[in-house]
Amino acid sequence: MSSPTGPASGLPVRMPRPRQPGRHRRPEPVAAPEGAPALVLAVPGVPSTTMRGLAEEVVSIARSELPGLDARIGYLDGEEDATVTSFPEFPSLHSVLAHAAAERTARVERAR
């Protein structure tokens, strides 16, 4: 019998081939780039707990596919909020976009 350290009785050793990259190889894991802008899911229609549950499920799937993703939900017919720091139960798309833009600006300022 032969072994990887040397052939016994003059028999050749069968070494495993190195793994080649190719289309059937498992792809490299993907992550959201550092400092990427937020992904905002715009939910149409009258806001409800059912709509929120569905939107949260979509955002959950997106986050599981792309770790580090900053995903948010904004409702086209949502409640408008004057402040950028707190949100009502169903924040409007405008409020969510304003909050995301303010956070991104603050992050850029801190990086300088």
User: Do the strands 39-43 and 71-75 form a parallel or antiparallel pair, or are they unpaired?
Assistant: parallel
pLDDT of 31 reads 85
In DSSP terms, 42 is beta-bridged to 74
Q: What is the pTM of this model?
A: 0.66
Residue 84 in contact with residue 100, Cβ under 8 Å?
no
**Per-residue pLDDT reduced to its tens digit, 25-51:** 666 778 888 888 999 999 999 899 999
Q: How many other C-beta atoms can be found within 10 angstroms of the C-beta atom of residue 91?
A: 22
- Reference 79, options 50, 43, 55; nearest CA is 43
Structural domain boundaries of the chain? 39-111
